[in-house]
Chains A and B, each alone.
Chain A
Amino acid sequence: MTVYLVRRILQALLVVLAMSLIVFIGVYAIGDPVEILISPDADQIERERAVQALGLDLPLWQQYAVFLTKALQGDLGRSFVYNEPALKLILQRMPATMELAFGATILALIIGLPLGLYAGLRPDGRFSRMIMAGSILGFSLPTFWVGLMLIMVFAVYLGWLPSTGRGETGTLLGMQWSFLTWDGLRHMAMPAINLSLFKISLVIRLTRAGVRETMLMDYVKFARAKGLSPARVTFVHVFKNILIPVVTVVGLELGSTIAFSVVTESVFAWPGMGKLIIDSINVLDRPVIVAYLMLIVLMFIAINLIVDLTYSMLDPRVRLESKGT
């Protein structure tokens, strides 16, 4: 188990290093920070002094080393726009994005699992065909357009839900959360549904495929041969087996849900990390972009690790193998 864990962490570190290099080259080497950082009417001497102060006269690898050392100390630069540490800016907005992503994931499971199960048990039924057609639609619908349509219907015409913002927030663990207040939940409803559409389709398809595959397994037939009720066969014998791949994928997808919240947050003016990054790209606020990217990379790696651990908890076979090593 420890050997496995150490190897996984080493691998993770390598990926972080590789990504930091890519981000560094992308942000610092391709673009010219001098253009943005130094006012155009500065004279030659001022320019050179600034270049030196920023360390831009050093060879590329030394610049990277400096970037890396600072990053390790938690310093990912100051935002040009807000004049605050980039990392702090992002962390401030993280709860908003997190609750949105988790909300969307939970919705996807609540809606996707039962529908996928039904479609898998009755693959030729009329309702199953409708579910599957709906899932193609879910994959095809452009997220941002669905968001607009939601606003049009529920905010403009029906007036049931607020169209933008986070609404009232409650405090938990020193952070602001919308899901703690009724008003906040009302604000969260549309963005969360919007973000979950793609994931619902994904869960439906995974569940359906899993059910169809599992139904053919001998152990399901054996369970039926034992005289168990169809409900017991479905919900214990089949469901527990398909939960493993579904949880894996949904967990892995959490990262891309957070990434895709960029779009949803822009549509609903949800003040999370995604909105921040779009705004930062538009004004080329490089430190914020870098900090965001590095954070996303770290998050992806963490999610991968957590999913692996959860996986081993759900699947006794994996659990034993890792105990053995």
Chain B
Amino acid sequence: MSDAVIAAKPADKVETPFRRFVSEFAESKVALGGLVVFVIIALLAIFAPWITPQNPYDLAELDIMDGRMEPGTVGGAGFTYWLGTDDQGRDMLSGIIYGLRISLTVGAGSALIACLIGASLGLLAAYAGGRTDSVIMRLVDLQLSFPTILAALMILAFLGKGIMNVVIALVLVEWAYYARTVRGTALVERRREYIEAAQCLALPTHRVLFRHLLPNCLPPLIVVGTMQVARAIALEATLSFLGLGVPITEPSLGLLIANGYEYMLSGKYWISFYPGIALLITIVSINLVGDQLRDVLNPRLKK
């Protein structure tokens, strides 16, 4: 989203690396479409309280008499349930928009924290080398060899439900991806002359690490980060579906889908169907952006 904001800013006519990046990114109409859709979703999530006809988490606003109404029905409160209602009379449209809020918060939040932790450890491993490196990388291997869904399940089993706990679980299963990515790039970069030059100038270590090494590791980090946001959103939904994610009072998309499960067999499809579509659109749009980012930022694919 921030990309679009910066891109819209009038820049001078000179071909800067950033402008070239933007124009290369825009070469794929599909990816551009993905970005637009994602921005819309993000805006919906941010301004949810002003958009939705109902606060789906305020039980006082829910009317149990309006439960399981078909899409398009006008409810007791006087507005139309365009996407129907769930078993508690919650307007699905409001529920989905609020659910997106949770999904995006959890996804972006966990990705950001995991990125900070993972990137720092990866950088440290690459820079320090030796025993530090092997200890960190063994941890990474261990983490990556274990299926994420199981690790997250276990962590939540001990921590209990709650948005914060979901974020913690996601951070714990995701940091290793960032660590591996950053270490890989940093190992290549640190042999370059400019790092040697910086070391010869006796710059302090943290300066070499964060001002010289890190910026050069950013492209792959951005790609992995984007993909991991999508993964985190999917994982959160899955965990909530399995009943181990967010609390029942503040349903995320996954929990909304789970709530509709039992009614689907009797043909009331909308309770599960629409949140799933919202989830799908969100994940696909992020993946499309990530795919294109990878193509643009990957130097190997360039001539």
Contacts and interface: CB of A to CB of B under 8 A. Distances in A.
A binds B: yes
Interface of A: 15, 18-19, 26-27, 30-31, 136-137, 139-145, 148-149, 151-152, 155-157, 163, 255-256, 259-260, 262-263, 266-267, 277-278, 281-282, 284, 289, 293, 296-297, 300
7 contacts: A142-B237, A155-B265, A156-B265, A266-B241, A296-B150, A297-B146, A300-B145
Nearest to A18: B142
- B241, B272, B279, most chain A CB atoms within 10 A: B241
A143 B242 CA distance: 12
Contact of B257 (A148, A259, A284, A293): A148
A1 to B, nearest CB: 24
Interface in B10-44: none
B239 to A, nearest CB: 10
Given A156-B269, A255-B147, 11 more contacts: A140-B283, A142-B254, A144-B238, A145-B237, A145-B257, A151-B264, A163-B265, A256-B147, A259-B147, A278-B153, A296-B150
B57 interface: no
Q: How large is the interface on B (under 10, 10 to 19, 20 to 34, 35 or more residues)?
A: 35 or more
A260 B279 contact: no
B50 interface: no
B67 to A, nearest CB: 20
Ordered nearest first, which 5 A-B pairs have the shortest CB separation? A259-B147, A145-B276, A140-B283, A256-B147, A281-B157
A31 B147 contact: no
Given A143-B238, A260-B149, A262-B242, A289 B267 contact: no
Nearest to B156: A281
Contact of B153 (A15, A155, A157, A262): A262
Interface string B261-294: 1001101010011001001100110011001000
B237 A31 contact: no
Contact of A262 (B150, B261, B269): B150
B197 to A, nearest CB: 36
B267 A156 contact: yes
Contact of B280 (A27, A145, A267): A145
B230 interface: yes
A276 to B, nearest CB: 13
Contacts of A30: 158
A136 B288 CA distance: 8
Interface in B228-264: 230, 234, 237-238, 241-244, 254, 257, 260-261, 264
A69 B288 CA distance: 51
A263 B237 CA distance: 11
A284 B265 contact: no
A140 B230 contact: yes
A296 B149 CA distance: 13
A289 B157 contact: yes
Contacts of A141: 280, 283
Contacts of A156: 264-265, 267, 269
